[in-house]
Amino acid sequence: MLSFERKQEELTSKILKLESTHNQIISYLKNPNQNQNIQNPNIQSQNIQNQTIQNPNTQNQNNNMNYDIFRSTIASGTNRPNIGSISNNPFQNTNNFQNPFSHQKINSNINSSIQKNPFQRNINPFEEEQINYNQYNRNSVNPYEMGNVYDNPFNEFKYNVTERITLNQSSIIMDDNEIKLINNWINPNTKNLEFSQIFKGSKYNFSAEIFHKLCDDKSPTLILFKCDNGARSGGYTTKNWNGEGQYKSDPNAFLFSLDSQNKYSVNVNEYNNAIYCRSTILCAFGNGYDLVILDQGKKLQSISNFPITYGYGTSRKMGLLTGGFQKFYLEEIEVYHVLYSS
């Protein structure tokens, strides 16, 4: 019983000493300019070394004090180290210390106190690209016209100012003899025809929308196509492809087969239905239709019911233009603007 009371007295004494030490710490934090001897709670008569605690508010003293180190020192009973003498204080700012959160790197060994921030970007990522409209020669090229071969900043389809694809560069035409044949079909009285490609299926995903954006304001036009079975055919019209669900009259329109080298003119009493225009398809020739090229023609089957409006007197045989098939897939289609050079 006496032993328990003695232990209780000793414990009470230690608690009182801890409270006294706690009060001294609180007093120090309130007034750090006064030197205080903080008692070690585990050694009754031992005093911690008297050292001047630097004022963290003064300019020439440490800006940060590791309070955790100070507190652990009191709890362990060891002598409190001189905080002002700590050389590797991670919380202390010096001239040679690099603050990773600062945009400026400070180094006392370099004359310039501010170095270039490697993470700083000279380009504002939120600033829109400036377009120099003076690069276009407005006297020769209209930058707002769809059909011109240039980089239109408002158009998703890109063109090259120097690019001009002619019939000689066609992937469907086999040789110069076929070019001469087409030239003769269009106008046998002139050799000054020029062909400028304005649409290519594989380049524009066989899209009807793009076809009409690029071809609606162009005439005359020559259309070449190649089926997935290898058959090569085409058509010609002097009218444009602008319109929504309307037939157009063209007595000069014709269809042809490059494989058989035959031309099929529109029938005399049928030329009011020479071509059919609609935005949801690429193009159509004749009423019925002799030839209709559908949107996404590489994935969806186009149709040829030739001869109906074209090829008067031709024996009605399925697929004369498309290798013997009424329905067919496209391997390629090319559209050329036909021009008469001086």
Query: Does residue 95 lie within any of the structural domains?
Result: no
User: Of 60, 85, 110, which one is at a domain's C-terminal end?
Assistant: 85
Residues 233, 328 contacting (CB under 8 angstroms): no
Query: Does residue 152 lie within any of the structural domains?
Result: yes
pLDDT over threshold 70, residue 2: no
Do residues 172 and 156 both lie within one domain? no
Q: Assign 202 to helix, strand or coil.
A: coil
**Domains of the chain: total:** 3
Which is nearest to 63 in space by CA: 90, 101, 38? 90
What is the per-residue pLDDT for 25?
Answer: 83
Distance CA 339, CA 197 (A): 11
Residue 153: which domain range? 121-163
Distance CA 154, CA 222 (A): 28
Neighbours of 314 (CB within 10 A): 12
Distance CA 51, CA 54 (A): 9
Instruction: Summarize pLDDT for 96-112 with one digit per residue, the tens.
Output: 445 555 444 444 444 44
pLDDT over threshold 50, residue 181: yes
Residues 282, 266 contacting (CB under 8 angstroms): no
Do residues 234 and 329 both lie within one domain? yes
Do residues 200 and 79 both lie within one domain? no
Instruction: Summarize pLDDT for 145-166 with one digit per residue, the tens.
Output: 444 433 344 444 444 434 689 9
DSSP state of 234: E
Long-range contacts of residues 37-46, Cβ cutoff 8 Å, at least 24 apart: 38/74, 38/80, 40/74, 40/77, 41/14, 41/17, 41/74, 41/77, 42/77, 43/77, 44/17
Do residues 210 and 309 both lie within one domain? yes
Q: For residue 307, what are the CA distances in angstroms to 287, 288, 304?
A: 10, 9, 9
Do residues 210 and 295 both lie within one domain? yes
Query: Does residue 301 lie within any of the structural domains?
Result: yes
Q: For residue 273, what are the CA distances in angstroms to 38, 254, 268, 282, 284?
A: 109, 12, 11, 16, 10
Distance CA 320, CA 305 (A): 9
Local confidence band at 75 (pLDDT 50, 70, 90 cut-offs):
low
Do residues 250 and 327 both lie within one domain? yes
Q: What are phi and psi of 71, to 5 degrees?
A: -70, -40
User: Of 140, 163, 186, which one is at a domain's C-terminal end?
Assistant: 163
Do residues 158 and 250 both lie within one domain? no
Do residues 224 and 158 both lie within one domain? no
Query: Does residue 97 lie within any of the structural domains?
Result: no
At 302, the amino acid letter reads S
Do residues 300 and 184 both lie within one domain? yes
Do residues 73 and 155 both lie within one domain? no
Percent of the chain with pLDDT over 70: 61
Do residues 310 and 203 both lie within one domain? yes
